[in-house]
Structure 1
């Protein structure tokens, strides 16, 4: 097939096979099967973003249907014809456009889908309606996603935070046996005396003994409203990673209009996720009141609020609590989202109010989260981020 025909073929797959009339090019074999899979979801004669019909026969309704066998076959087809990233997008569209959420309560369906963070969010939102016959399959799907995320994120998170904790534990007036000579020499190179071929150690750098070091405390306070599903998944994984570090004491709190402390389940993020209840209202003030009550060493505590800031509680009290925690020495960070998505919808007024208190509010990708935490642990300005919002 020449370049022009290949370009036309691609356009036909975008627009739908019906657009081939009069072009001299037709879709057959694998291309016809791909077109049928797309047409089943988006309808015939797709145009532009693939969501509107414009074929010769006018709009054609999506033909996927709502029976488990036909959906299972379709899921198998799209996995055969498209890369995983496209499969995940098509699955999300099928769930949203065709109302297939109920079918995810069937084990056979769950075994057929391509698992990702968004599918986990959908399953968690269906958690309370999930029959026992499906629950174990759903847990297996969620566990696969969680384990993949841990492999991707854990090593870098531990390494980054270990370095930050190491640096924060340095003491500026060490006893002789506690001096770190390598870092002391590097810190004082400007004081090198050529005539004496020596460095004058104006500033000593050392470490405290491990037994003397005080654990840093991290409180992850997570909004579990429906729009925060991906953030809840990522935060649960990070919570488990942080909890595995002996030099950190990690607490995980989720909230809507009620507050639930899931710290005792942090050894298994899957248990954490199935203990959440996505959806419902939002009372940030109540959640922060609980977190504030758990803080015993403010100067050694980092609080990370993960929320879109749409407050259903008492706004002024929420801001006063944040200001009080800041004044006591707590490092406070507000993440509008912890996900791979773009800039989220959020309450701009509340974000601006937090920024006025010296609390940055921004969306954060999972890959950027370790650097954010490291900066908070070391009590230094947060690193520049393309995700920064307010």
Structure 2
């Protein structure tokens, strides 16, 4: 590397990259001194990943000099990070700062919240801090959550409404019409053309096709969401999906969140941000109690889909969990268990409880947000979910 930090040729570029990875110091072996944007990038990395004694940042677990004790200091660091790295890297570094450098404490400062790159994981952190946020930070925190919720709605909500709405329409039109006025004669004739009798000049309708039921709910959906700390991303996505499903007139949607207590958030489904700020991440887990609450609110078991979103680490009675799940299934409720609703893949979960629920005929798998609309469409149509791939 030439004096001043310039590079020439492939070898110098490799040396430059290794210097940024290793973090400098006498032992790094590169002899390179970053300048300009490289120096700014190196400083941002050093404050998060650098070693106390000058050891390379490539050694995991070392603590750097830290981000300082003030929100303005953190805001400046975040500004450097956002200027030097793509947004995907920014989000990883923010998450690492939360875990390594107690950034959660400084998330209470409005000026710091204004500087962050919002994502699902940051929203999860803010929700976990919800009850301790000072008034001066609450408005900024809500704005961050709103930005992420709006982004997720643009990405997922319309596709959810389209997929599930089409499934509901198919369900409505294949239902047996109760009255002559409910028969869709055009579709009925088309569906029975093979039964045309030439000598009579008429079609014999073996199957009637009915009109949709307008405002009457065809299905009830209950989203039952574990709000323990490990389920943060799933809670965020569930809030957005719950609001999207609630906007469908042919679907009656409920959303409950639980730890050792149960909170019904159905009346907040008009706004996913209100849903999210109604949750409280952290605490224990009592899945059996949550299923008991859901069972008490179900009035049409055979027309109900219950989606339990939980890693199944039961803090209450395992026998109660399995008994409640079996009773719901026996009553005709379509129960589906999602071990996660996130982009992070299959999470750590209780394998024994997952196997026991599967033995009851309950589908159990992790599901990405992009796959959720198709999952719900299949569920409301009554299709077999055992082979559904949610990843």
TM-score scaled to structure 1, two decimals? 0.89
Task: Tell whether 2:123 aligns with 1:120.
Answer: yes
Task: Tell whether 2:10 aligns with 1:3.
Answer: yes
Task: Tell whether 2:255 aligns with 1:256.
Answer: no
Is the Cα–Cα contact under 8 Å of residues 37 and 78 in structure 1 kept in the other structure? yes
- Residue of structure 2 equivalent to 1:67: 70
Structure 1 pair 21/255, CA: closer, same or farther in 2 (3 Å)? closer
Query: Secondary structure, in 3 states, of the residue corresponding to 1:169?
Result: helix
Q: Within 2, Cα distance between the matches of 1:294 and 1:224?
A: 20
Is the Cα–Cα contact under 8 Å of residues 246 and 270 in structure 2 kept in the other structure? yes
Is the Cα–Cα contact under 8 Å of residues 66 and 98 in structure 1 kept in the other structure? no
Q: Within 1, Cα distance between the matches of 2:145 and 2:215?
A: 40
Structure 1 pair 21/356, CA: closer, same or farther in 2 (3 Å)? closer
Q: How far 1:387 sits from its partner (Å)?
A: 4.2
- Residue of structure 2 equivalent to 1:166: 169
Q: Within 2, Cα distance between the matches of 1:80 and 1:102?
A: 24
- Residue of structure 1 equivalent to 2:5: none
Task: Tell whether 2:374 aligns with 1:365.
Answer: no
Is the Cα–Cα contact under 8 Å of residues 12 and 19 in structure 1 kept in the other structure? no
Q: Within 1, Cα distance between the matches of 2:192 and 2:221?
A: 34
- Residue of structure 2 equivalent to 1:56: none
Q: How far 1:78 sits from its partner (Å)?
A: 0.3
Give the gaps of 5 or more residues in structure 1: 54-59
Task: Tell whether 2:226 aligns with 1:219.
Answer: no
Q: Within 1, Cα distance between the matches of 2:30 and 2:126?
A: 44
Q: Within 1, Cα distance between the matches of 2:384 and 2:345?
A: 23
Is the Cα–Cα contact under 8 Å of residues 378 and 385 in structure 2 kept in the other structure? yes
What does 1:10-159 correspond to in 2, within 5 Å?
10-18=17-25, 23=30, 25-44=32-51, 45-46=55-56, 48=58, 51=60, 61-159=64-162
Offset from partner CA, 1:252-293 (integer Å, 9 cap, x none): 111111111111111111111111111111111111001000
- Residue of structure 2 equivalent to 1:266: 269
- Residue of structure 2 equivalent to 1:57: none
Task: Tell whether 2:356 aligns with 1:349.
Answer: no
- Residue of structure 1 equivalent to 2:246: 243
Offset from partner CA, 1:319-358 (integer Å, 9 cap, x none): 1111111111111100111111122011000000010011
Q: How far 1:184 sits from its partner (Å)?
A: 6.6
Q: Within 1, Cα distance between the matches of 2:70 and 2:131?
A: 22
Structure 1 pair 73/246, CA: closer, same or farther in 2 (3 Å)? same
What does 1:307-386 correspond to in 2, within 5 Å?
307-382=310-385, 384-386=387-389
Q: Within 1, Cα distance between the matches of 2:233 and 2:344?
A: 9
Q: How far 1:318 sits from its partner (Å)?
A: 1.5
- Residue of structure 2 equivalent to 1:206: 209
Number of matched pairs = 377
Greater CA drift, 290-299 or 312-321: 312-321
Q: How far 1:212 sits from its partner (Å)?
A: 8.5
Q: Within 2, Cα distance between the matches of 1:164 and 1:199?
A: 31
Q: RMSD of the alignment, in Å? A: 2.7
Give the gaps of 5 or more residues in structure 2: 1-7
Q: Within 2, Cα distance between the matches of 1:386 and 1:210?
A: 31
Q: Within 1, Cα distance between the matches of 2:166 and 2:274?
A: 29
